[in-house]
Amino acid sequence: MTTSRRLADRKTEKFQKNITKRGSVPETTVKKGNGYPVGPVVLGFFIFVVIGSSLFQIIRTATSGGMA
């Protein structure tokens, strides 16, 4: 029974140490908000695909006489 008591005391001590650390987050891990969620290459590729497909659709509609 003493081993479980020691184990419980150790866990309680670890828990108490953790409580005193709450809220003290270092500055380096806080997000600044300056970064983009996607990279510039991915964003450029997405814009290329969207604009390219819309231009292709406009050209295709213009050459077919506007009939769908």
Residues 6 or more apart whose Cβ sits within 8 Å of residue 68: 61
pLDDT value for 60: 92
* CA atoms 42, 47, 50, 53: torsion sign: negative
Q: Give residue limits of the domains in the chain.
A: 37-68
- pLDDT tens column, 45-58: 999 999 999 999 99
Q: Mean pLDDT for the chain?
A: 80
The pLDDT, as a whole number, for residue 24 is 67
Tell me the C-alpha to C-alpha distance, in Å, between residue 68 and each of 9, 10, 46: 77, 75, 26
